Amino acid sequence: MSKKKTFAKLIKGSGMTVAPGAYDGITATLINASGFPAVYMTGAGTSAALGYPDFGLLTLTEMVRNAARINACVDVPVIADADTGYGNVLNVVRTVQEFERAGVAAIHLEDQEFPKKCGHLDDKKIIPLDDYLAKIRAAADARDDPDFHIIARTDSRAVIGFDEAIKRANAALDAGADIAFVEAPQTLDEVKAVPKLVKGPCLLNVVHKGKTPPVPLGDAQDMGYALAILPTLLFRSVVGLCEALLDELKETNVFPSPPGDMSPRDAFRRFGADEWDELRDKYDKPAASKAAAE
């Protein structure tokens, strides 16, 4: 079964799919090994990995390249942040084509002005509803595989209010989106209301210390969410851990012992060292036998 079809089956299922955020091959491989059913390619983490804030500074090419790299590391579906589609409706068409070629199962497109910013920052600006819906229609029409999911994200809650955000989410579903993503509901009542008011599968963005109050994943499933992403779980944890280790090294001049202390070999095993060794042995042995015979 293709990853796209697997993702479609997950969304149609009775439970909620949890997709932690990856930004490189390390984080993607670890998420996959932990048994999660899907991986989310975080735009914030991807931007940070290239040395930028989440201000819409990366190009389509950079985002697609990272999505392809992450997809190659895992055997579960990948959901990718496609920002605003990187321009007008024509750019959206190419965005869908490129991400689909990269092998991802779904992308989300948002209604912020370009360049966008992280959905949990202040002073966001959004495009008119008609322009947003044109992008969603273009995205739905551009896909090759009907199982490639278009997730319609609206950042309008912070700009024009919760009711208008629900209106945009439902309009996007009518325009051809498969999943609705109301970004940054600001109260627990709003979080609960989204799956009740939106006429289709809903995504919850779980961001620690963001605009949305904390919601246990079990509660989110009970509320009716089909998908939860955790874009900053690993990215921000890595930042904090790296800073702590570097501070300790600078202060003590002694190699710190990080959590999960492991040997180089143990670390490499997480990324397929044993399998690569077997492959090397497979092709080295005939050569060694031939040399011995001569």
pLDDT at 220 over 60: yes
Query: Which tens digit of pLDDT belongs to each residue from 100-130?
Result: 999 999 999 999 988 887 878 787 889 999 9
Query: Which tens digit of pLDDT belongs to each residue from 253-270?
Result: 999 987 877 888 888 888
Provide CB contacts within 8 A for 67, sequence distance 6+.
Answer: 41, 78, 80, 99, 102, 103, 104
Fold adopted by 3-239 = TIM Barrel (3.20.20)
Catalytically annotated residue among 143, 149, 153, 168? 153
pLDDT at 293 over 90: no
Catalytically annotated residue among 98, 100, 110, 155? 110
Residue 290 is predicted with a pLDDT of 55
What is the distance between the alpha carbons of residues 262 and 245, in angstroms, rounded to a whole number? 15
The Cβ of residue 151 has, within 10 Å, a number of other Cβ atoms equal to 27
Catalytically annotated residue among 23, 66, 111, 118? 118
266 is catalytic: no
Q: What is the number of H-type helices and E-type strands within the chain?
A: 13, 8
Better-predicted residue by pLDDT, 265 or 294: 265
265 is catalytic: no
Q: Which of 87-91, 191-195, 207-211, 249-253 has the lowest mean pLDDT?
A: 207-211
Query: Which tens digit of pLDDT belongs to each residue from 136-176?
Result: 999 999 999 999 999 999 999 989 899 999 999 999 999 99
For residue 7, which of 198, 174, 203 has the smallest C-alpha distance? 203
Query: Which tens digit of pLDDT belongs to each residue from 30-87?
Result: 999 999 999 999 999 999 999 999 999 999 999 999 999 999 999 999 999 999 999 9
294 is catalytic: no
118 is catalytic: yes
Q: Is 161 left (phi over 0), alpha (psi -120 to 50) or beta?
A: left
